[in-house]
Amino acid sequence: MIRNLNSPCKIGGVNAIHASYNESYIWITIEKGRVILDNVRLLGAPLSWNISLLAVLVCLACCYLFLVQRYAKVDLGNKQTFLFSLGILLFYFTVGSPFAVISHLSFSLHMIQMSILFFIIPPLVLLGIPEQLFVKAMDISKLTWLKRFRFPPKIALYVFAVLLLLYHLPFILTFLLKIPLLQNGFITCLFLLSIIMWWPIASPDAKRRLCKLGMKRYAMISGYVLLPACLFFILTAFIDGVENPLLAQLTAHLCMPASTATTLLPPPFNTKYDQFMAGVIMMGLHKFGLVMALTLENKIAATSPESEGSENCLIAIHTPRKNWRT
Q: What is the pLDDT of residue 92?
A: 95
**What are the C-alpha distances in Å from 205 to residues 1, 42, 75, 238?**
64, 48, 19, 44
Buried b or exposed e, range 290-305, using 16+ CB within 10 angstroms: bebbbebbeebbeebe
Q: What is the pLDDT of residue 82?
A: 92
Contact 150, 137 (CB under 8 A): no
Rounded CA gap, 28 and 40, in Å? 18
With 50 as the cut, is the pLDDT of residue 180 above it? yes
Q: What is the pLDDT of residue 254?
A: 44
Q: What is the pLDDT of residue 78?
A: 82
Q: Return the half-sphere exposure (C-beta side, CA atoms, 13 A cut-off) of residue 260.
A: 12
Highest mean pLDDT among 186-195, 226-235, 311-320: 186-195
Q: What is the pLDDT of residue 249?
A: 52
Q: How far is CA 292 from the centre of its chain?
A: 14
Dihedral in degrees, nearest 10, Cα atoms 105, 110, 113, 115: -170
Buried b or exposed e, range 144-163, using 16+ CB within 10 angstroms: eeeeeeeeebbebbbbbbeb
DSSP string for 191-254:
HHHHHHHTHHHH-SSGGGSPPHHHHHHHHHHHHHHTHHHHHHHHHHHHTT----HHHHHHHHHT
Range with the lowest mean pLDDT among 163-172, 226-235, 236-245, 259-268? Answer: 259-268
Q: What is the mean pLDDT of residues 165-191?
A: 87
ω into 268 cis (within 30 of 0)? yes
pTM for the full predicted model = 0.74
Question: Pick the residue with more confidence: 183 or 58?
Answer: 58
pLDDT confidence bin for 29, thresholds 50/70/90 = very low
Q: What is the pLDDT of residue 110?
A: 87
Amino acid, res. 119: F
Q: How many helices (H) and strands (E) does the chain have?
A: 17, 0
Q: Report helix angle 227-238 to 153-167, nearest 10.
A: 20
Per-residue model confidence as pLDDT tens digits over 65-118: 988 888 777 777 788 899 999 999 999 999 988 888 888 777 888 889 999 999
Q: What is the pLDDT of residue 264?
A: 54
Q: What is the pLDDT of residue 6?
A: 43
Our CA angle for 85, 321, 224, nearest 5°, is 70
Judged on CB neighbours under 10 Å (0-12, 13-18, 19+), 259 is exposed
pLDDT confidence bin for 141, thresholds 50/70/90 = low
Q: What is the pLDDT of residue 5?
A: 40
Q: What is the pLDDT of residue 15?
A: 43
pLDDT confidence bin for 315, thresholds 50/70/90 = very low
Question: Pick the residue with more confidence: 300 or 284?
Answer: 284
Query: Would you give the end-to-end CA distance of the chain in angstroms?
Result: 70
Q: What is the pLDDT of residue 85?
A: 93
HEC profile of 143-172 = HCHHHHCCCCHHHHHHHHHHHHHHHCCHHH
Q: What is the mean pLDDT of residues 209-222?
A: 90
Question: Pick the residue with more confidence: 259 or 63?
Answer: 63
Per-residue model confidence as pLDDT tens digits over 240-294: 655 555 544 554 444 444 444 455 555 555 566 777 888 899 999 999 999 999 9
Q: What is the pLDDT of residue 300?
A: 85
Mean pLDDT of the chain: 74
Question: Pick the residue with more confidence: 303 or 58?
Answer: 58
The closest of 36, 309, 84 to 28, measured between CA atoms, is 36
Our CA angle for 269, 272, 275, nearest 5°, is 75
Q: What is the pLDDT of residue 142?
A: 65
Our CA angle for 185, 189, 193, nearest 5°, is 170
